[in-house]
């Protein structure tokens, strides 16, 4: 009888604790995890059985394993390696802790040398002058950030700078994801695309490797809108560099195909989607407006990563004559 009373008291206490938690979603999930684990341990269930019956417990368990395997972190690595981040690396490696650890360590090494969080808009603004790649001012139906790519508007020759521009906007898109959202959507418009504006296969391979190896599970879906037939030859080569999971997220969309249209409707509100992608909105990229937006985001990124002074000096050195670029206005 006493054990029943104690158990009931414990339940009431945990319910009270959970009701008082008004912090982050991550905190609530952790409490839920330990609460559920405690319940089933009291019932004598095995750890393996619990994880089979409750996949979310496996997620938390694996995250904790990976966290222990990596060891203590500090500085930017600590900011980067959130529980959500560790979960993405685990998902990318099918929940194998050793493989996820190796992948994450390689990313941390890459970030320490490439320093993607330190790239600032004035360094890549020239790449964005034509609007070949920018962050949209609308989201998909579940609130994901949208990047719009227009490879037919290629305006530069430096493959290194083109990759740097993409990395900058990946970091920017991540910075602007709503709480609880880890993925983004890509819309790729092939208007004007040809082999003369196409990137070399080697650059495409290097770009894919960076995205897959250092931004795992960031891409929710990529829509290739009306790609020309000649693109198919290029695609047949590039797809072999892709992880199967990434490959499954790439969707070819044709406006005269009913299934394609329905697929776009399932992801986007047609009133927000630009006409270039079969929607009803009018979109015009304004480089100066977008640059002002990126300048604001650079300040936000500096505060997040903790190097305000460096950003301040960089901003002042580019303040005069910097071509700043906008989120496209939708009329």
pLDDT at 265: 95
Q: How many domains does the chain have?
A: 3
End position of a domain, from candidates 29, 53, 77: 53
Residues 167 and 177 in one domain: yes
Residues 271 and 314 in one domain: yes
pLDDT at 7: 44
Residues 48 and 149 in one domain: no
Residues 97 and 211 in one domain: no
Which range of residues forms the domain containing residue 70? 55-114
Taking the CA atoms of residue 304, residue 307, residue 308 and residue 310 in that order, the dihedral angle to the nearest 10 degrees is: -140
pLDDT at 307: 82
Average confidence (pLDDT) per 10 residues, the chain, 331 residues: 48 47 49 49 50 62 96 96 97 96 98 97 97 96 96 92 96 94 95 75 85 96 90 81 89 92 95 95 95 97 81 37 37 37
Token pair of 63 as six digits:
């995250």
Residue among 41, 285, 283 nearest 155 (CA): 285
Residues 96 and 160 in one domain: no
Q: What is the pTM of this model?
A: 0.77
pLDDT at 312: 42
Tell me which residue has tokens 């979960």.
Answer: 87
pLDDT at 55: 55
CA 193/CA 228 separation, integer angstroms: 8
CA 140/CA 132 separation, integer angstroms: 20
pLDDT at 277: 94
pLDDT at 78: 96
pLDDT at 313: 42
């Amino acid at each position: 009888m006493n054990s029943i009373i104690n158990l009931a008291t414990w339940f009431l206490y945990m319910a009270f604790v959970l009701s008082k938690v008004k912090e982050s979603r991550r905190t609530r999930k952790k409490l839920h995890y330990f609460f559920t684990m405690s319940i089933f341990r009291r019932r004598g269930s095995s750890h393996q059985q619990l994880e089979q019956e409750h996949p979310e417990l496996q997620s938390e368990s694996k995250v904790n394993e990976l966290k222990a395997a990596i060891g203590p972190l500090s500085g930017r690595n600590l900011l980067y390696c959130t529980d959500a981040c560790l979960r993405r690396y685990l998902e990318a490696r099918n929940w194998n802790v050793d493989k996820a650890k190796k992948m994450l360590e390689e990313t941390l090494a890459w970030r320490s040398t490439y320093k993607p969080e330190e790239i600032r808009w004035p360094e890549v603004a020239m790449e964005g002058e034509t609007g070949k790649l920018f962050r949209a001012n609308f989201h998909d139906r579940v609130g994901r950030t949208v990047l719009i790519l227009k490879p037919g508007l290629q305006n530069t020759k430096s493959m290194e700078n083109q990759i740097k521009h993409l990395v900058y906007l990946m970091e920017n898109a991540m910075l602007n994801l709503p709480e609880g959202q880890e993925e983004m959507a890509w819309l790729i418009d092939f208007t004007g695309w040809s082999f003369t504006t196409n990137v070399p296969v080697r650059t495409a391979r290097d770009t894919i490797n960076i995205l897959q190896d250092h931004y795992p599970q960031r891409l929710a879906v990529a829509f290739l809108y009306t790609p020309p037939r000649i693109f198919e030859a290029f695609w047949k080569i590039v797809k072999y560099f892709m992880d199967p999971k990434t490959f499954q997220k790439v969707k070819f969309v044709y406006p005269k195909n009913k299934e394609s249209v329905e697929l776009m409707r399932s992801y986007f509100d047609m009133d927000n989607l630009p006409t270039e992608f079969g929607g009803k909105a009018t979109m015009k990229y304004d480089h100066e407006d977008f640059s002002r937006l990126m300048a604001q985001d650079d300040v936000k990124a500096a505060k997040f990563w903790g190097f305000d002074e460096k950003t301040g000096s960089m901003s002042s050195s580019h303040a005069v004559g910097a071509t700043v670029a906008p989120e496209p206005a939708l009329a």
